[in-house]
Every structure is written in structure tokens, then in C-alpha cells.
Structure 1
Amino acid sequence: MPHAYIVRCSDGSYYVGSTWDLDTRLWQHNNDGGAAYTRCRQPVVLVWNAEFDSIAEAFAFEKRVQGWSRAKREALIRGDFDALPELSRRPSARRKRGDPS
């Protein structure tokens, strides 16, 4: 089953990916067979994943999440789906919205 996933790297950064075989891909990330980004940031720990019906859907979700801010990724990891729409707004728009005047 295809997956999109997020791993936390040893430096605290996040890596977003997609794969057919999640267990194998995690092993690769931790054993010099993964992406160049994670090779120098081992070990990595899986912090979020979801199954998709097709690898194309998983890849599309991966690309979408790669464009998200760290705060929005962390809301997804926490399962705080209510926060996602607000975190999608520009920071200046979020500040204005909280301003009572």
C-alpha cells in the first residue's frame, strides 16, 4: 500500500516522502540508502504516515506537505486538523485576525 510519511531527523528537521514500502524506506533512511538529505541526519524517526490508494496520490500529498511551514507540518503530526486552515494563512493575516481592533 502506498504511503506518505514524515520523519524527524537527528537535527530536528523534518523530511517528507512517499513510498510503496514504508518499512523498507525507513530502513534505507537509517542505513545510508535513503535520500541525500537524511543520510547526514541519521537516525530518523517516523512521526507521521498515511496510506493512499495509489502512489500518485501519496506523491501528490508529499509534494503538498513539502510546501508547508514547519508549524503546519507539526499540526499534522499532532493530529491538530483544526489548526491547519489558520496555519495556511499568511503570518501577517494571522496577526491581523487575532487583533481585536
Structure 2
Amino acid sequence: MYERFCHVTDPIHQTINPVEWYVYIILCSDNSLYTGVTTDMERRFRQHAEGKGAKYFRGRQPVRVVYLEGAHSRSSAASREIRIKAMDRTEKLVLISGRTAIPLSLNA
């Protein structure tokens, strides 16, 4: 069962490569943005499109993946997902565009 979640690179189990997790944002048919985590983006998008994924997609369809961030453990992906879900739409759009948001100051 242990090998199911990790790829063991040596017989003594000294070097282990954990499964890579991704954080993603999907643009939906109602123009909303859905954030989630997965180990397989193609499979997860297909599940959402078939109505077998999150309940969020009942009544709306996924249009396309607009943001994908890899190199996460399960724990770091879940933490990042929470931080992204706490963002407002404008902050998410800045993240998706790759731009850095610069706060405006009236004293500048």
C-alpha cells in the first residue's frame, strides 16, 4: 500500500519521490473561477466536465484550466488552495495573468 502513494527508487526505501500535487483554477461557464487540487489535471478536468467532480459543477461547466501550479506535496497544495480561495476575484485574475499586484499609495 505504501508504494501506491510513493515511487520507491531503491530497494531499501531510502530515496522516495512523493506524488506531485497541483493547485489549479478553472474558468467556468458562468465566468466564475473554481480552485482545487489534484495529482492528475486531465483526469480531474474530465471528472468535472462529466459531473463526477465537485458539487460546484452542478449547474455550470468547466471551460478551461486558466492556472496550474505544480511541485506541491498534498499538504502544501491544500494550504495553497486555501490561500487562493481566500483571494477575491481581482487577486485571482492577477495571479492567473502572472502580474505582480502593486499596492497604490496616496502618499507616493
Answer whether TM exceeds 0.5 for this pair: yes
Aligned to 1:47: 66
The DSSP-based 3-state class of the residue aligned with 1:44 is: strand
CA distance in 2, matches of 1:16, 1:52: 16
Determine whether 1:75 maps to 2:94.
yes
- Stretches of structure 1 that go unaligned for 5 or more consecutive residues are 87-93
In structure 2, do the counterparts of structure 1 residues 17 and 43 end up closer, same or farther at CA, with 3 Å as the change threshold?
A: closer
Determine whether 1:16 maps to 2:35.
yes
Larger mean CA deviation between 3-12 and 46-55 belongs to: 46-55
* Number of aligned positions between the proteins: 89
Larger mean CA deviation between 37-46 and 60-69 belongs to: 37-46
Larger radius of gyration: 2
Aligned counterpart in structure 2 of residue 6 of structure 1, from 8, 19, 25: 25
Amino acid at match of 1:21: D
Larger mean CA deviation between 50-59 and 5-14 belongs to: 50-59
The DSSP-based 3-state class of the residue aligned with 1:34 is: coil
Aligned to 1:38: 57
Which of the pair is proportionally richer in helix?
A: 1
- Stretches of structure 2 that go unaligned for 5 or more consecutive residues are 1-19
